[in-house]
Structure 1
Amino acid sequence: MREDGIDGIPRRAVVVGAGVVGLSTAWFLQEHGVDVTVVDKQDVAAGSSWGNAGYLSPAFSIPLPEPAVLRYGLRTLFAPDAPLHVPASPDPALWSFLTRFAAHCTPWAWRRSMQAFVPMNAECLDAFDALLAGGVAARTEQAPITAAFENPEQVADLRHEFEQIRRCGQQVGTTELSTADAGVPQLSDRISAVLRVDGQRYVDPGEFTRALAKSFVERGGTLRTGFAVRQLVRTPGQVIVKSEQEDRVSAEVVVLATGAWLSKLAKPLGVRTPVRAGRGYSFTVPTDEPVPGPIYLPAARVACTPYQGGLRVAGTMEFRPVDAPLDRGRVEAIVRSARPLLRGVRWEERRDEWVGGRPVTPDGLALIGATKLPGTYVAGGHGMWGLTLGPLTGRLLAEQITTGKRPALLRPFDPLR
């Protein structure tokens, strides 16, 4: 008997969630000969896999709880325009979560968590290459990320962050440039310092996720949308997935990859680490000139990416219920913070205003692996890095499911920790 309670390689699997993490897991399970069904309560890329900034950025893939976040958060916690925002509300579960999150915002805790990220970051782009080589009809664009600063003294904070990452064993290539040498026409005259971060990529996240779904179906996978899962039931030899409409599908293995909704189904399976929605906002704006690559505005905590002939602008971390409506005031706050720093951007013509729940854990580590219920697994809680780490998560979890042995890279992400 394997450590996950399954005899032999499973023949069938159900993956709950049609975002990049769930579809990557399904695709790599197919590589091992497993017949896979993916179900989703909405549609492919209906959540954060569509609206994120599209960064494939191992240099920025770090644990979210860190001392700087705590210092900044305490100063701006209830400020409606602040990039990190917690509405004043009597939500004991949220405040319990934030208390645990704050407890991990120490240098020691951050370094410990970063040690888990380093080997994942070293391999994450290879997993994208494997998907593309295997027939996923999408592409990733190689380009440095240009971090732009209004005040030259602000560069020191990001430089310090990268030095801490290097001390944990991850290589990050950076070059300090003048604004004139950056080659980014969108930088305004207010920008006085630039730090170029090399070795990164970006992608149209919705297009990539849809291409992944198309490849999965063409390889014989089954995709069912409008299937809202209510319950998992273990029976001899299989797990039954029941929907709210009383439909059901069963398999030897079930993987929950439901993003910010993960805790609802995972908690009954023994996953005690909570997942909360750290909601992010994005929109698209036309630009007067082509955007050569991603632009990061650290002081405003705004990420910008070339997108469909314009610029996708993404930012904020808002701890509200995942299904709460879009707050247009948060969009306006992003515009106010970014407008002085960028030129040739037609802010009034913005479109595709979006809000989505990024799945955040209190210790900054994702939940990837087997639960207490034999035959059930979870893959989620990646915070802001579900796109960057999603394909590698799927590849490693598929390996664990089909071999019964947990890859060394997944040990720090044990969902039963």
Structure 2
Amino acid sequence: MREDGIDGVPRRAVVIGAGVVGLSTAWFLQEHGVEVTVLDRDDVAAGASWGNAGYLSPGFSIPLPEPSVLRYGLRSLFDRDAPLYVPTSVDPGLWSFLTGFALRCTPWAWQRSMRAFVPMNAECLDAFDSLTAGGVSAPTVPAPITAAFEKPEQVAELRHEFEQIRRCGQDVEVRELSTSDVDVPQLSSRIAAVLRVEGQRYVDPGEFTRSLAKSVVERGGKLRTGFRVREVLRGSGQVVVKSEQDERVSAEVVVLATGAWLSRLAKPLGVRTAVRAGRGYSFTVPTEQPVPGPIYLPAARVACTPYQGGLRVAGTMEFRSPDDPLDRNRIEAIVRSARPLLKGVGWNERRDEWVGGRPVTPDGLPLIGATKMPGAYVAGGHGMWGLTLGPLTGRLLAEQITTGKRPALLQPFDPLR
């Protein structure tokens, strides 16, 4: 008997969630010879895997709870124009979550969590290369990320962040450039300082996720959309997934990869760490000139990426239900903060306005691994870095599922912690 309570190597697995994390897990399970069925309540890339900024950025992949976030959050807590927004509605669960988050915004806690991210960041781009070499056709594009600042003194905070990352063991190549040496035509004359972060990539996230789903199906996997899961049960040596219509799908293994909705199904399986939706917004605008690569505006907390001939603009961390409707005021707040810093952008010709829930945990660490129910696993809680870390999460979890041994890189992300 393996340590997870399963007899032998599982032959069949059900993955709940057709985002990049769930589909990557399915793809790498197939590499081990496991038959997979992927279920999703809506469609492929229907959540955060579609509308995010598309950064594949190990240089920025860090735990969200940190002292600067707490200081910033307290200053802007109820400012509807601030990048971080918490509604004033009474939600004891949310306030309990935010209290736990705040208690972890200490230098010691952040450094401990960052050391767990370092080996993941070192390998995450290799996992993308495995997918593209294995038939996922959507490309990943190597490009530096240009961080632009309106005031030279604003550089200090990001430079300090990179220094802290290096102290935890991760090398990040950062160059400080003169604005005259930067060939990014979208930067306005108000930009006074620039940092360039080398060794990063970007991708069209929706295209990549759909290409990943296509590859899973072409390799023999099954994909069912519109399947709304009510509960996960154990019975007769199998894990049973029941839909709201009482339809049942069973296998030796089930993986929950439902993003911001993870806690509803994972809590009955012994996963006590809460996952809340840190909702992000994005939209696409035309540009007068081609965008050479990703642009980050740290003071505004806005990430911009070349996207389908224009510019995808993404920002905001809004703690509301993942199913709440889009708040157009949040879109307008992003526009107001980014407009002075960018030029040649058609702000009034926006399209693809989107909101989606990024799965955030109070300690900033993902939940990856086995639950208390034999054969049931979870993969989620990556916060803003589900795209960057999703394929590696899938590769490592597939290894754990098929061997019965938890990889060393996953030790800090135990869902039962």
Q: TM-score range by the shorter chain?
A: over 0.9
The answer to whether 1:57 aligns with 2:57 is yes
After superposition, give the CA deviation of every residue in 1:322-343 in whole Å (9 maximum; x if it has no partner).
1010000000000000000000
Partner Cα separation in structure 2 for residue 287 and residue 247 of structure 1:
48
Measured after TM superposition, the shift of residue 237 of structure 1 is 1.4
- Structure 1 residue aligned with 2:247: 247
Matched residue type, 1:320: R
Q: Check conservation: 1:179, 1:187, Cα contact below 8 A.
A: no
The answer to whether 1:21 aligns with 2:27 is no
- Structure 2 residue aligned with 1:370: 370
- Structure 1 residue aligned with 2:341: 341
Gaps in structure 2 of 5+ consecutive residues? none
Q: How does 1:5-404 map to 2 (within 5 A)?
A: 5-404=5-404
Secondary structure of 1:58's partner? coil
Partner Cα separation in structure 1 for residue 129 and residue 7 of structure 2:
32
Identity percentage of aligned residues: 84
Partner Cα separation in structure 2 for residue 183 and residue 413 of structure 1:
40
Partner Cα separation in structure 2 for residue 185 and residue 405 of structure 1:
50
Measured after TM superposition, the shift of residue 289 of structure 1 is 0.1
Matched residue type, 1:326: L
Partner Cα separation in structure 1 for residue 257 and residue 397 of structure 2:
11
Count of equivalent residues: 417
Secondary structure of 2:116's partner? helix
Partner Cα separation in structure 2 for residue 356 and residue 267 of structure 1:
22
Partner Cα separation in structure 1 for residue 220 and residue 202 of structure 2:
28
Secondary structure of 1:299's partner? helix
Q: CA RMSD in A?
A: 0.4
Matched residue type, 2:97: F
Partner Cα separation in structure 2 for residue 247 and residue 44 of structure 1:
20
Partner Cα separation in structure 1 for residue 314 and residue 270 of structure 2:
34
Partner Cα separation in structure 1 for residue 208 and residue 180 of structure 2:
33
Matched residue type, 1:234: R
Partner Cα separation in structure 1 for residue 233 and residue 52 of structure 2:
33
Partner Cα separation in structure 2 for residue 96 and residue 77 of structure 1:
15
Partner Cα separation in structure 1 for residue 322 and residue 215 of structure 2:
29
Secondary structure of 2:396's partner? helix
After TM superposition, the score normalised by the length of structure 2 is: 1.00
After TM superposition, the score normalised by the length of structure 1 is: 1.00
Matched residue type, 1:315: G
Q: Check conservation: 1:85, 1:318, Cα contact below 8 A.
A: yes
Secondary structure of 1:4's partner? coil
Measured after TM superposition, the shift of residue 236 of structure 1 is 2.1
Partner Cα separation in structure 2 for residue 141 and residue 205 of structure 1:
12
After superposition, give the CA deviation of every residue in 1:204-255 in whole Å (9 maximum; x if it has no partner).
0000000000000000000000000001110121111000011111000000
Measured after TM superposition, the shift of residue 180 of structure 1 is 1.7
- Point out 4+ residue stretches in structure 1 off by more than 4 angstroms: none
Partner Cα separation in structure 2 for residue 105 and residue 123 of structure 1:
26
Secondary structure of 1:343's partner? coil
Gaps in structure 1 of 5+ consecutive residues? none
Q: Check conservation: 1:296, 1:302, Cα contact below 8 A.
A: yes
